[in-house]
């Protein structure tokens, strides 16, 4: 299943749907090789599906091609991808530097788990670059759009400093997606994704990916085989299917989100709107330079108390109250008591995550229906 020259020249929307016709049957979609094992010696290449499976292999090629990497590796979850990547490259005594307002489980993996294994972890304040610390780190982990404050770090500077100081840069591109940003256009970083969000996009698959090049990818793949954080062939098939609509979904989501961010900014019950596509956002200029679209997550503060925010969320109907994001349906959550509950009150305060903050993940619904729904949720009678 070599990638042909013709395919490499395709634009992303076409790469997403391009299929390789299987010569044996002519099936026009990638089949699910739902098998644990392959008969010997027929399958010289394939032996056991934790190690390598043809459906998974096709998914690996797809994610590599849309993220402009040499190689892609699929995992059973985003956390499987992140933990396997970091564990395969890091050693005791190394110093890792990361942003504070990143995905809660990622933060806990570094601060609670790795610190017990002799890794030094330095968490920098929101808006500060992880390279801006006194000792030079061996590793830097950033999200291209952070959660839930949607900060956009200076990728160009991070790339330059990583290159200059031999720092391994790991970039979580889950919120931006390859439609809005390809970090590998800026430098030779390692890109990680939760496939469970925008990438696969239908709230029905948990998966993760790593894209990059060189020896690091061999080490990561080897540890995936050892730890068993591999994706199974059925989930891989669902992932290929979901990713096919990434461009049409993200085009709609980018458009809906900008319209809703502007709508919320004018709403009398909303005190603050955080969206990188609004000129009021602290990273607006950088977001305009780096991002082709501003993504599907809007955070906003409602007037009143934390409980008022929770009751706005609970009125959601078309907009589902739930702790996820990135699907075709709009979803709303209360980070302080949901996704970011594992942070201490002090940590939440430091990153500026208030009790009245709600996080909206915008779907592909008709935007006028979403405006009406938000208006109803924010009104007193509801
Ligand atoms: C959800 C998420 C993860 C973890 O991915 P899972 O697939 O849930 O394991 C990592 N990073 C970001 C930015 C996420 O939103």
177 lines ligand 1 (CB under 6 A): no
HSE-up of residue 103 (Cα within 13 Å, Cβ side): 24
Give the Cβ contact number of residue 86 at 10 Å.
25
The residue nearest atom 1 of ligand 1, judged by CA position, is 194
Residue 20 pLDDT: 86
- Token readout for 187 is 């430098």
Pinpoint the residues of the chain covered by CATH 3.90.1150.10: 247-379
Low-confidence residues of the chain: pLDDT under 50: 1-3, 5, 382
> Distance (Å, rounded) from C-alpha 24 to C-alpha 237?
18
- What is the 3 state secondary structure string of 287-325? HHHHCCCCCCEEEEEECCCHHHHHHHHHCCCCCEECCCC
103 lines ligand 1 (CB under 6 A): yes
- Token readout for 250 is 């993200």
Contacts of 379 (CB under 8 A, 6+ apart): 269
CA of 63 to the centre of ligand 1 (A): 16
Atom of ligand 1 lying closest to residue 174 CA: 13
CA of 304 to the centre of ligand 1 (A): 30
Angle at 1 between CA 188 and CA 205, to 5 degrees: 70
Contacts of 301 (CB under 8 A, 6+ apart): 270, 271, 272, 309, 354, 356, 357, 358
CA of 194 to the centre of ligand 1 (A): 4
Longest dimension (CA), the chain: 70
Contacts of 349 (CB under 8 A, 6+ apart): none
CA of 213 to the centre of ligand 1 (A): 22
HSE-up of residue 146 (Cα within 13 Å, Cβ side): 29
Atom of ligand 1 lying closest to residue 207 CA: 7
Ligand 1 pocket: which of 105, 149, 230, 333 to mutate (most atoms <8 Å of CB)?
105
Residue that is written with structure tokens 């050892």 in the block: 226
Residue 296 pLDDT: 98
> Which residue stretches of 130-283 are H helix?
155-165, 177-180, 215-227, 233-243, 246-265
CA of 325 to the centre of ligand 1 (A): 10
88 lines ligand 1 (CB under 6 A): no
CA of 192 to the centre of ligand 1 (A): 9
Residue 381 pLDDT: 61
Q: In what order do the strands lie in the sheet with 331-333?
A: 270-274, 297-302, 357-361, 331-333, 320-321
Atom of ligand 1 lying closest to residue 79 CA: 9
316 lines ligand 1 (CB under 6 A): no
CATH entry 3.90.1150.10 includes domain 247-379: yes
Pinpoint the residues of the chain covered by CATH 3.40.640.10: 5-243
The residue nearest atom 4 of ligand 1, judged by CA position, is 78
Question: pLDDT, tens digit, for every residue of 30-79?
Answer: 999 999 999 987 667 899 999 999 999 999 999 999 999 999 999 999 99
Residue 8 pLDDT: 58
Angle at 218 between CA 18 and CA 232, to 5 degrees: 55
CA of 40 to the centre of ligand 1 (A): 37
Residue 7 pLDDT: 53
Atom of ligand 1 lying closest to residue 195 CA: 7
The closest of 183, 248, 247, 245 to 209, measured between CA atoms, is 183
Question: pLDDT, tens digit, for every residue of 261-289?
Answer: 999 999 999 999 999 999 999 999 999 99
CATH number of 5-243: 3.40.640.10
The closest of 299, 371, 377 to 338, measured between CA atoms, is 299
Atom of ligand 1 lying closest to residue 196 CA: 7
> Distance (Å, rounded) from C-alpha 7 to C-alpha 16?
10
CA of 27 to the centre of ligand 1 (A): 33
Residue 101 pLDDT: 85
196 lines ligand 1 (CB under 6 A): yes
Can you tell me whether residue 340 is helix, strand or coil? coil
The closest of 246, 144, 251 to 197, measured between CA atoms, is 246
């Amino acid at each position: 299943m070599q990638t042909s020259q013709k395919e490499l020249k395709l634009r992303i929307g076409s790469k997403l749907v391009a299929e390789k016709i299987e010569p044996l049957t002519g099936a026009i979609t990638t089949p699910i090789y739902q098998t644990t094992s392959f008969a010997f010696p027929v399958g010289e290449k394939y032996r056991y599906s934790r190690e390598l499976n043809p459906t998974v292999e096709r998914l690996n090629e797809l994610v590599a091609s849309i993220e402009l990497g040499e190689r892609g590796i699929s995992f059973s979850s985003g956390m499987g991808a992140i933990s396997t990547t970091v564990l395969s490259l890091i050693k005791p005594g190394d110093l890792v530097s990361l942003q504070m307002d990143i995905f809660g489980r990622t933060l806990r993996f570094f601060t609670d788990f790795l610190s017990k294994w002799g890794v030094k972890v330095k968490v920098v304040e929101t808006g500060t670059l992880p390279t801006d610390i006194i000792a030079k780190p061996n590793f830097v982990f950033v999200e291209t759009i952070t959660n839930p404050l949607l900060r956009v770090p200076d990728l160009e500077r991070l790339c330059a400093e990583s290159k200059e100081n031999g720092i391994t840069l790991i970039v979580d591109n889950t919120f931006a997606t390859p439609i809005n940003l390809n970090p590998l256009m800026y430098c030779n970083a390692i890109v990680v994704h939760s496939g469970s969000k925008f990438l696969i996009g239908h709230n029905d698959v948990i998966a993760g990916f790593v894209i990059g090049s060189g020896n690091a990818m061999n080490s990561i793949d080897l540890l995936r085989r050892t730890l068993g954080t591999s994706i199974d062939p059925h989930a891989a098939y669902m992932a290929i299917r979901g990713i096919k609509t990434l461009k049409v979904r993200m085009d709609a989501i980018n458009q809906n989100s900008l319209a809703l961010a502007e709508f919320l900014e004018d709403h009398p019950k909303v005190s603050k709107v955080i969206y990188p596509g609004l000129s009021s956002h602290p990273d607006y200029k950088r977001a305009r330079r780096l991002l082709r679209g501003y993504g599907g997550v809007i955070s906003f503060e409602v007037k009143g108390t934390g409980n008022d925010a929770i009751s706005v969320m609970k009125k959601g109907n078309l907009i589902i109250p739930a702790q996820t994001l990135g699907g075709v349906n709009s979803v709303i959550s209360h980070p302080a008591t949901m996704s970011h509950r594992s942070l201490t009150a002090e940590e939440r305060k430091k990153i500026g995550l208030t009790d009245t903050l709600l996080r909206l993940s915008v779907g592909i619904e008709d935007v006028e229906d979403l405006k009406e729904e938000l208006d109803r949720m924010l009104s007193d009678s509801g």
